[in-house]
Amino acid sequence: MNAQASAAPLIAMEGLGKVYEGASGDVRALAGVGLAIRAGEFVSVVGPSGCGKSTLLRLLAGLEPCEEGRLTLADRPVTGLSADVGVVFQAANLLPWMTVAENVALPLRVGTARRGGDPARIAALLQMAGLGEFAARYPYELSGGMQQRAGICRALARDPAILLMDEPFGALDALTRERMNVELQRIWQQSGKTVLLITHSIAEAIFLADRVVVMSARPGRVLADLPVAIPRPRSFDTIVSHPAYAALAREVRGLLNAEGALE
């Protein structure tokens, strides 16, 4: 567990639910989700497709209104968008008409953070992500992995306490994905952010997280909240031979299997 993790939860959810109104009736995405995340923790959320993982993240980001249950960030109810939250989207979602540096600096140009820009910080972020030489390039000149690293830099631009990641590496090939996981672990350890990662990959979830939260099929509930007792820094070479890894992977797989996710 990260040294910066403290006792009081930074993110707290209680009885959190969400219903979407659809053309052919209402769809319940989440039902009674309870979860507490401490500052500095890295939590992965895995679950079957359509289990409401992304809805959970959208509620946390303030992109969807919280109408059912309680959701607090640092003891304050989430009522809307917060500058203390950075979101990393599925696929990098960079704007193709802006250079990498402009994309990463975008959060400092808009909204409440307007004119709060610190060019040195952007350069440092790009440097940290190994994109220093690509600052003036356009997104189409970058590989998928580099684009997503830029997406992470953008989410960190306002120096938020919380980083929400919605299947950020789903579009990448397996090898790039492993490299990105190692990079993300490094970035997380350097920055001390609280991270909530939504993923489909059991390996990725365990590799990165302090805790793996397994969700049920729709409507999404928390099925299990499993601590990952594997020392850091982790590497893919050593983690697979760690006895806790195999046991944990089997448990998560079993839970998902029971939900019909792995048929």
Distances (CA, A) of 104 to 20, 108, 155: 32, 9, 8
139 interacts with other proteins by CB under 8 A: yes
Binding other proteins (rule: CB under 8 A), the pick from 5, 36, 83, 244 is 83
Query: Can residue 106 be called a binding residue for other proteins (CB under 8 A)?
Result: yes
How many residues form the binding site for other proteins (CB under 8 A)? 27
Tokens of 245: 């890894």
What is the number of other CB atoms lying within 10 angstroms of the CB of residue 232? 14
Q: Which of 86, 79, 51, 54 is nearest to 65 (CA)?
A: 79
174-179, long-range: CB within 8 Å, 24+ apart, which pairs? Answer: 176/143, 176/144, 176/145, 177/201, 177/204, 178/236, 179/145
Which of 138, 189, 224, 242: binder of other proteins (CB under 8 A)?
Answer: 138
Does 125 interact with other proteins (rule: CB under 8 A)? no
Q: Under DSSP, is residue 245 helix (H, G, I), strand (E, B) or coil?
A: helix
- Interface with other proteins by CB under 8 A: which range of 7-15, 116-124, 128-136, 139-147? 139-147
Strands in 194-199's sheet, in edge-to-edge order, are 85-88, 162-166, 194-199, 42-46, 211-215, 222-227
Nearer to other proteins, 81 or 240 (CB): 81
Helix (H, G, I), strand (E, B) or coil at 86: strand
Angle (nearest 5°) at CA 155 between 12 and 239: 75
Q: Which of 4, 5, 89, 117 is the binder for other proteins (CB under 8 A)?
A: 89
Please choose, out of 43-51, 105-113, 171-179, 209-217, the segment that lies near other proteins by the rule CB under 8 A.
105-113
Q: How far is the CB of 63 from other proteins (least distance, A)?
A: 6
Which residue in 36, 74, 91, 123 binds other proteins (CB under 8 A)?
91
The residue from 9, 107, 145, 220 that contacts other proteins (CB under 8 A) is 107
CB 39 within 8 A of CB 194: yes
95 touches other proteins (CB under 8 A): yes
Q: How far is the CB of 155 from other proteins (least distance, A)?
A: 9
Considering only residues 46-65, where is the footprint of other proteins by CB under 8 A? 61-63
Query: What distance in Å separates the CA atoms of residue 68 and residue 17, rounded to the nearest whole number?
Result: 5
The residue ranges that bind other proteins (CB under 8 A) are 61-63, 80-81, 83, 85, 87, 89-91, 93-97, 106-107, 109-113, 138-141
